[in-house]
Amino acid sequence: MSVQTAKRRLSPANIEALKGERPIVSLTAYTTPIARLLDPHVDFLLVGDSLGMVLYGLDTTVGVTLDMMIAHGQAVMRGSERSCVVIDLPFGSYQESKEQAFRSAARILKETGCSAVKLEGGAEMAETVDFLVSRGIPVLGHVGLMPQLVNTTGGYRSVGRNEKEVAKIRRDAKAIDDAGAFAIVVEGTVEPVAREITASLRSPTIGIGASPACDGQILVSDDMLGIFNDFKPRFVKHFAELAPAISKAVEDYANEVKARTFPGIEHTFQLKGVR
Ligand code: KIV
């Protein structure tokens, strides 16, 4: 009889417990093959609503639906076995009321098997975060630059550059921390603010464009792999340049098809006995 050791995923509580232990590693993933490649190296995979821009060519994340998030969440769950998977609540699926947020988050957990959701918002979302957490839904917060608010904030500008903005991000981070988030994404802010928030919160901060002072880091995987090159914010580092590699591969393929050198004999099925 073979004894199989069940492989256990990291839980939101495991992620929370990493604060003060070591930096937390995270990337976005939207598909099964990419999740498979990322899974051995990260603590959590975020199925971010950035998939609207990265995969679907939308201008903002506002058009992303709950069905899109669930379909991609299922794909990422199929491609991973050890990392904690967190799925974004998309715009319009949680802001109306805490009850609406619970219904959307419960659908995500039930239909994908993931263990947590992320939502954007500060003090105004604290009651919702508390409602979800106290009813069994772990929440990853998201403060600072909040892409779902692009239509009211007017763009993707970093925040925390004046006293009013610093006071707001401080207030927002504390409110989401007090509400019970297991970790908080801090996006697009200056280093002193990120450092202060990280030192003052119970939960770990996960920075994106928020300096090395955070407890962990997250990037959009297509950005750091050099696939999504529509724009490159200052905080993105290309750890690979896959876009030119893909272009070159496709150019070579096109040339070989035109020259009839592909498919070769080694790629061609033959009748048995015929050479
Ligand atoms: O949607 C997303 O990918 C995100 C990360 C950038 C944090 O929210």
Going from the N-terminus, what domains does the chain have, and what CATH number goes with each?
3-242 (3.20.20.60)
pLDDT of residue 132: 98
Ramachandran region, residue 220 (left: φ > 0; alpha: ψ -120 to 50; beta: rest): beta
Q: Using the predicted structure, report yes or no on whether residue 259 has a pLDDT greater than 80.
A: yes
Which of 31, 220, 223, 231 to mutate for ligand 1's pocket (most ligand atoms within 8 Å of CB)?
Answer: 220
pLDDT (tens digit, 9 = 90+) per residue, 204-249?
A: 999 999 999 999 999 999 999 999 887 788 999 999 999 999 999 9
> How many other C-beta atoms can be found within 10 angstroms of the C-beta atom of residue 248?
10
- Measure 206 CA to ligand 1 centroid, in angstroms: 11
3-class SS of residue 70: helix
Please state, in angstroms and rounded to a whole number, the distance separating the CA atoms of residues 120 and 142.
5
- Measure 178 CA to ligand 1 centroid, in angstroms: 22
Q: With CA atoms as reference, report the closest residue to 142 among 174, 81, 114, 184.
A: 184
Residues near 90 by beta carbon (within 8 Å), at least 6 away in sequence: 49, 52, 61, 64, 65, 66, 68, 69, 148
pLDDT band at 143 (very low <50, low <70, confident <90, very high): very high
Which residue intervals of 18-141 are DSSP H helices?
Answer: 32-38, 51-54, 66-78, 98-112, 126-133
Q: Using the predicted structure, report yes or no on whether residue 164 has a pLDDT greater than 80.
A: yes
- Whether residue 134 contacts residue 180, with contact meaning beta carbons closer than 8 Å, is answered with yes
Active site members: 187
- Report the nearest atom of ligand 1 relative to the CA of 61: 1
Please state, in angstroms and rounded to a whole number, the distance separating the CA atoms of residues 31 and 195.
33
The percentage of residues in the chain with a pLDDT greater than 70, rounded to a whole number, is 97
Please state, in angstroms and rounded to a whole number, the distance separating the CA atoms of residues 73 and 89.
11
